[in-house]
Chains A and B, each alone.
Chain A
Amino acid sequence: MNHLILLVVLPLLSAFIIPVVAKHSLTISRLIGPVVLVFILALVVLSWNSVGSNGFAIFLGGFLPPVGIVFYIDHFSLMLSGLIAGMLLIVWPWNSYVAPRQYSLYMLLTAASFGLVLSADLFNLYVFYELLAVATYGLIARQKNPAAAVAALRYLFVSATGSAMLLLGIAIIYTLTGTLNIAHLATMTDQLHGLAGLSAFALIVIGAGVKAEMFLLNTWVPEVYSTIETPLAALLAGLISKLATVLIIRVLLMLFQQSEVLQMLLVVGVFGVISGEMVAWRAKDMLRMLSFSSIAQLGMIFIAFSIAGEVGLWIGLAMMLHHLLVKGGLFLLADKMQGSFDNLRGYAKRSAMAVAIFIIFILSLLGIPPFPGFWIKLMLILNLAEQNNTLYHYAIGFILLATVIEAAYLFKLVRYLFQDEEAATIVSTPKSLTFWYAQIFALVLLVSLAFISPISNRLKDMASQVANPDIYINTILPSHLSGGNP
């Protein structure tokens, strides 16, 4: 099983060699990425069954924890890895002219994503987080649109400040405990649950929150998403934001599962939902609307994760998957339906299929039965209601209000799409690959409807696995159940 490290290593390797290969053969350099991704996808699928319910730990360099870096692999991280590989295959820049180094950046992004998902070491997570960030800046700035450079620069300032804070948090934790291994830290939570530890956690959350589109840290979102190519936006909104969320959740679950912390997460989530939906309501063009809606959805995910225990976790996971499908799909669709609402007038006549898919997506996004989004929202609301805390009950109100606003702006757009007179400036785009992908996303969404029960059971299994720090600690530190020196 140690070969699963290839998930990180192979993309890095390919990233390094792509520029050199490109000097000799552009074609081969273009194929390296997809081949590696397909290989990794196969690897993930093949190793699915061999990962037991307790997960599996890779000790890098053969050093037993806590001294070395550890990778922890369970079904949850495998699922995310599969999603990463699949998503990257989908947004892979096939048909546009792309410099070889851009492929390298994509592969570095891939490697960083895998690292973020698998690593069980705080500092290692930081490194991968930064790799992800740098690759993202590069990809954003590389866009043909010169505005993208400004967006990337503004993003960079926020993100780098956040990263420095993350580093600060890690430094505090290390000074406090003398270890970086999350499992090891989990055995000494009593030391962490003080002012210093929680402050460190707050700094970590702020650092990771920038990418997770957390409220007030997400000002970069609209600028970046409206300047970059939509497939990349789909990747960032659909997947990368989730990985940062996963990072936060991992740390939270293992180290800081306290009601105050969860409530702060809830508040942040609620603000995200409300602010995102409200500003999306004002938006007058597709991409801006989608990016703010994405902020809101991330807020919703935070709200889900703020429910203590497995329940919150599996609902959050389900929301993540759903959002990945829907928002990813919408951004892919936006490749075809770009521009202001005014430009999209009468689009239904031009492409009924695109509009139909759009409506399926937004219905699911709104949580209209029987689409999967409904079941997730239902479970979220019911479980929020079950919490013994009025804060959670207020959150329900805000979610519901946000849904109304969401409906308002989404259907405002629908009205434009169905208007009789067509916009003069409407751009007719040829059937592109992204549109096919969007159709596939919609199909997956519809098919998943038939499998709500099995999917939810599987997610519940994963959640119970992830939510239990004992499994994590047992697997990574077999001999250190109750803490102590290595």
Chain B
Amino acid sequence: MLINISIEGLLYFGAISLSLIGLFGLLVSNNVFRMLLALVMFEAGANLILVLSGFRENGIAPIFLADYSGAIMNDPVPQALVLTAIVIGVGIQALALALILRVKKHYKSLDMRVIRSKLEHEIATQANVEPPGSHHAPKQIVRAGEHQ
């Protein structure tokens, strides 16, 4: 199936590659802004796959122009859907950007590891407990039956 290289096969391959490259970037980067960019790529890939589903061989754009002669039209629905999806993506990205700005402002860092630990620390401080995963030795050895 993949060997039979057709135009739509290539398109699909490209779309999937795009989204997976985005996903890979999302996984390996620690910089939050890069993660956002990777997310944008991933969403773009997903949108591509969506819009490809309306692709027809030899199809034309689904617009009834004056000289329309009954040619095969591409599916209008995915185009409409992807329009929506793109705008949704834009909204989310803008929001993420704003969040990144705010995080940067407050924590002076964009490294996910740093802000994660600062977040945990802050939560723990607010609740007045030790942050989870702190590598201090346990304060006291808990004897039998004292757990509950």
Contact = CB atoms under 8 A, between A and B. Distances in A.
Interface of A: 123, 126-127, 130, 133-134, 137-138, 141, 145-147, 149-154, 156-157, 160-161, 163-165, 167-168, 170-172, 174-175, 178, 180, 223, 226-227, 282, 284-288, 338-343, 408, 411-412, 425
Please classify how large the interface on chain B is, using the bins under 10, 10 to 19, 20 to 34, 35 or more.
35 or more
A172 B19 CA distance: 14
A101 to B, nearest CB: 13
Interface in B73-118: 75, 77-78, 81, 84-85, 88, 91-92, 95-96, 98-100, 102-103, 106-107, 112, 115-116, 118
Interface in B34-64: 35, 39, 42-43, 46-47, 49-50, 52-53
A130 B92 contact: yes
Given A134-B95, A167-B43, 14 more contacts: A123-B84, A145-B122, A149-B106, A152-B99, A154-B116, A161-B26, A164-B43, A168-B50, A171-B52, A172-B53, A223-B120, A284-B129, A285-B128, A412-B148
Contacts of B19: 164, 168
Contacts of A339: 126-128
A284 B119 contact: no
Contacts of A165: 46
Contacts of B147: 408
A114 to B, nearest CB: 18
B123 A153 contact: no
A411 B49 contact: no
Nearest to B100: A153
A185 to B, nearest CB: 14
A171 B50 contact: yes
Interface in B118-145: 118-120, 122-124, 126-130, 132
Contacts of A180: 77
B21 interface: no
B128 A343 contact: yes
A223 B122 CA distance: 10
Interface in B8-48: 19, 23, 26, 32, 35, 39, 42-43, 46-47
B116 A137 contact: no
A129 B120 CA distance: 28
A137 B99 contact: yes
A226 B123 contact: yes
A134 B129 CA distance: 31
A425 B147 CA distance: 24
A67 to B, nearest CB: 9
A147 B26 contact: no
Contact of B50 (A150, A163, A174): A174
Nearest to A168: B46
A163 B118 CA distance: 27
